[in-house]
Structure 1
């Protein structure tokens, strides 16, 4: 009981003499444990750490699939290996491919025959030996064979037969018994999805290849981050010394956990990260010229507003501030500050009590 009376005695003159300032003597500051600290110009404003998943950007990943059904008789790379565009990845033996080449050669023969017949009928029509109707019929048959030949040639290309093999087929009639499957891009083999000796259907996946620089970081953050995050804002992954920038802020809210989706592109240190990896990242905003770093204990809440107790000649003055961000021990604030002020960092409860008029009656 005696201790409470002493505390009220100390606070009472503070409130009684307060006009604009809260009058506090040096002796009272010492007794109440009030200490002050100068403001510090804030560095980059960092958000709380946010969980995210490392993924390969759209457009930098390819699924290498079997262009034709057949038997995989060899695989030449494994997961984790770096490959170059055009490098041989696997070989596929395909009886269906042989049948397609046979059909192509047959169409080529028929197209040549249709060409010869059309040229002959043109000469006969010119000499008045045949009717125009017969010439038109011959031309129509030639066009049909030409279209069919082009279709079957395109089918062979889609099945994976290269130009060199097609030219050899046309010039010599020699058929390829299998296909060499090549890498479509430079990158790293992320996954091997088939084995030697396996029979696969057309379009069955064999490898997954990705180019791993840059990478994307998919972040699910609290809704409050929308007031802080901006496109182009720097993002840092402290554990791996990697960084990049925000490229997308999805405004749709996840109804299951009430989070917002952010996407960042990691351009520096991407080689230290792997697709599928979960990491913690921080958003970093450049501090403004009137933003300052203070001890979190210096920020006093009253209702919905925040204040700092700024040291004056008479004692302290409650100055309203806006809290930009908060960390474990420090906060970044802005307000009518010039940087030369000193603010109370301990004993703020006693100053707030006097400011609120406790013991003033």
Structure 2
């Protein structure tokens, strides 16, 4: 090819090359803003909200323990001031059954008594009359029996008519009834105590003497108090509820009674269906087994009554697992990279446990101790400094 021809070909190709290069530059220039935007967006993308990134080694070094929430069934406990009272069926006032002079007192305060034991002896004219009536009734009954045997013999010998036999049998029956009546009247006073003018006052129940109102030689009237006996193997705890709480509690609910150095569980036995006219509160009663004699009648205690769960998803967590972050109540749930603060709704406290009414299902793994460390790290941005 001649030099002239080569120049002609180069002259034709040069514009096409310039056009192609121009288009490539324009395309590259158009792509730059998009790439810069992507890089800028990735750089400005924030870390996951409420997350704390920790390795297993850091979790162990921080002393953070992980566990599962406990299944519910309760919406927590409501604490109430309460009072220990004697079981109404286990408290008995022993009174004088007849008027007279106290000649014997056989028990002192604190001493045990058995049912039927003689507690006191009273001397009186009325006692003498009761005993004399028994003796007279027995004598009349013996005479009536003798007459009956005589009439039976005479009737058998055909000496006396049947009418006389019937009359003798009736008289014997009436005499026996009179004896039983006199004995029951004396028994109602406690029974004879040796001499005809004395009666014994006996314990109606087994228990312990908690009060002694009489003194030796004192003249007492009928129904005058002598002793008080209490069977303290069972006691009751009485408390007052607001109507709203009372509507959620039924007999059989669990109750925990606490006092200085003592704690015992029991069951609610009674929730009053009416409000007290003065306090406008509802009375609640629970029964305590007191065979160990650890509770005293009249003692103030604290009663924690279990409230029923409001739903099937109610769970409890240790109080150390609950934290407050930015005016939210949260629990830190374990994730693959650390923990995440999960907002929850809390219910009542049950000792060292807190009821979670919403926010957790019970299947999570949560930080149960030292969760305040996670709260502090969350405030720093969610990254724990590496040593």
TM over 0.5: yes
2:206 and 2:231 in contact (8 A); partners too: yes
Pairing partner for 1:218 from 238, 256, 260: 238
CA distance in 2, matches of 1:124, 1:201: 53
Cα drift, residue 152 of structure 1: 0.7
**Residues 306-352 of structure 1, C-alpha deviations (whole Å, 9 max, x = no match):** 9747677899676554x34137997321432434246997999xx9x
1:1-361 to structure 2, matched below 5 A, reads 23=49, 41=69, 47-161=77-191, 175-223=195-243, 224=245, 226-227=247-248, 231=252, 233-255=254-276, 256-267=278-289, 271-283=293-305, 290-294=315-319, 298=324, 308=330, 319=343, 321=345, 323-326=346-349, 331-334=354-357, 335-341=360-366
Gap change, CA 1:240 and 1:225, over 3 Å in 2 = farther
Gap change, CA 1:109 and 1:211, over 3 Å in 2 = same
Cα drift, residue 188 of structure 1: 2.0
Cα drift, residue 207 of structure 1: 0.4
CA distance in 2, matches of 1:251, 1:241: 27
**Residues 245-282 of structure 1, C-alpha deviations (whole Å, 9 max, x = no match):** 01413141424434333222323685232212222233
1:293 and 1:333 in contact (8 A); partners too: no
Does 141-150 or 190-199 show the bigger shift? 190-199
CA distance in 1, matches of 2:226, 2:325: 59
TM-score computed with the length of structure 2 as normaliser: 0.64
SS in 2 for 1:218: strand
Gap change, CA 1:111 and 1:39, over 3 Å in 2 = same
1:218 and 1:264 in contact (8 A); partners too: yes
CA distance in 1, matches of 2:98, 2:292: 36
Gaps of 5+ in 2: 1-44, 53-63, 379-387
Aligned residues between the structures: 308
1:214 and 1:270 in contact (8 A); partners too: no
2:51 and 2:338 in contact (8 A); partners too: yes
SS in 1 for 2:287: strand
SS in 1 for 2:164: helix
Cα drift, residue 37 of structure 1: 10
Partner residue, 1:12: none
Does 49-58 or 266-275 show the bigger shift? 266-275
SS in 2 for 1:133: helix
2:83 and 2:238 in contact (8 A); partners too: yes
1:243 and 1:268 in contact (8 A); partners too: no
SS in 2 for 1:272: coil
Does 105-114 or 231-240 show the bigger shift? 231-240
SS in 2 for 1:49: strand
SS in 2 for 1:217: strand
Partner residue, 1:170: none
CA distance in 2, matches of 1:299, 1:115: 98
1:230 and 1:246 in contact (8 A); partners too: yes
Gaps of 5+ in 1: 1-16, 27-35, 166-174, 352-361
TM-score computed with the length of structure 1 as normaliser: 0.68
